[in-house]
Amino acid sequence: MFPSNASSPVNSADRPDLRGVGQAVTPLAYTEQYNADFVSRWDELIDWTKRAEGEGPFFSQLLLQAGACRVFDASCGSGFHSVQLRRAGFDVTACDGSPTMVRQAKANFASRGLDIPILCCDWHDLDPRQLGTFDAVLCLGSSLCHVFEEPERIAVLKRFRRLLNPGGVLLVDQRNFQAILAGQFSSSGRYYYCGKTAKVTLGELHESLCEFVYTFADGARYSLRVCPILPGRLRGEMRSAGFVVKQSYGDFKSVYDPMTADFIIHQAHI
C-alpha cells in the first residue's frame, strides 16, 4: 500500500519499463521524488543520532585540516550536516532545491535553537554574486546522483567551483555503485540510512538507473530513482570541472574495500 502522494509506486504494473533505454531515462524530477509525505519520514529513515555516531567527526576534521570556516551545504536535505557542522563551530549556509526538504530543515534548525541561513535553490542557479564565496562546498547523501547526464553533472560541479574561495574544498559522496552494479548491494545501516523502522532494498537496476526502495514498518513504501555513477567516473567529472581530486574514502576510511563500502566520499580542491 502506498500513500496517495508516494514518490514512485514500486512494483506498480503501470510503471513504464525503462530497462535498456540507456541515457534516455527520465525519472521523476527530484522535487517530485521528495514529496511532502516522504520528506516527513526522512529523519526517521536516516536517524540523526545513529548517523552522527556512525560518521563521528569525519567531516569536521576534514574541513578543519583544509582550514575551512565558511561552509556551503548544497544538498542539505533535512539539515543533518548543517546542524552537525554549525555545532562544531563552522559558519554554515544550507541549501536545497526541494521546497519540502527546506521546510523540514528549517523546522529542524528551529527546534534545535539554531539560526542557520538556508535557501531553496536548484544547483543550476547557484551564483556567487548573490551568495558570496565559501571555503568549502558539501554535496552529501549521494545527492549528485539525482543528475543523470554527465555534461549536466559537470556543469553543476562547475557551479560548486565558482562558489569556492581560492584553495577551497569540495566534498561529494555517493552510494557505492561499483559494488551495487556488481550485485553486491549492502546497506549496513551503520552510516547513512540508520533508522530501524525502514528497510532499504533495490528495485530497478541497470547501468543507467538505480531505484532504492524504502519500506517502513507500517507498510508505507517510497522509492528514489537515481543515476548509478561509478566512483571513478565521478572523480573524472570532478577533474573535468576543474577540481584536483585529493582522496576518496570508503565509509569514512582512507583504506577500504571498494566492493563492501556502503558510501564513497571524494575530497577535492581548486
What is the contact surface with ligand SAM in residues (CB under 6 A)?
30, 34, 46, 75, 77, 80, 96-98, 101, 122-123, 140-143, 146
For the bound state, the minimum distance from the C-beta of residue 259 to ligand SAM, rounded and expressed in Å, comes to: 22
Least gap, CB of 13 to ligand SAM (angstroms): 27
The Cα–Cα gap between 73 and 220 comes to: 29
CA torsion 111-143-231-138 (nearest 10°) is -50
Q: Which is nearer to ligand SAM, 105 or 179 (CB)?
A: 105
96 with 103: CB under 8 angstroms? no
Among candidates 204, 214, 224, 213, which has minimal Cα distance to 33? 224
34 versus 72: smaller Cβ distance to ligand SAM? 34
Alpha carbon 254 to its chain's center = 20
Comparing CA positions, the residue from 245, 70, 244, 243 lying closest to residue 160 is: 243
Cell (9 digits) for 152: 549536466
For ligand SAM, the nearest residue by Cβ is 141
- CB closer to ligand SAM out of 33 and 248: 33
Least gap, CB of 80 to ligand SAM (angstroms): 5
Give the nearest distance from C-beta 21 to ligand SAM in angstroms: 21
**Is the CB of 29 or the CB of 244 nearer to ligand SAM?**
29
Chain centroid to CA 54: how far? 16
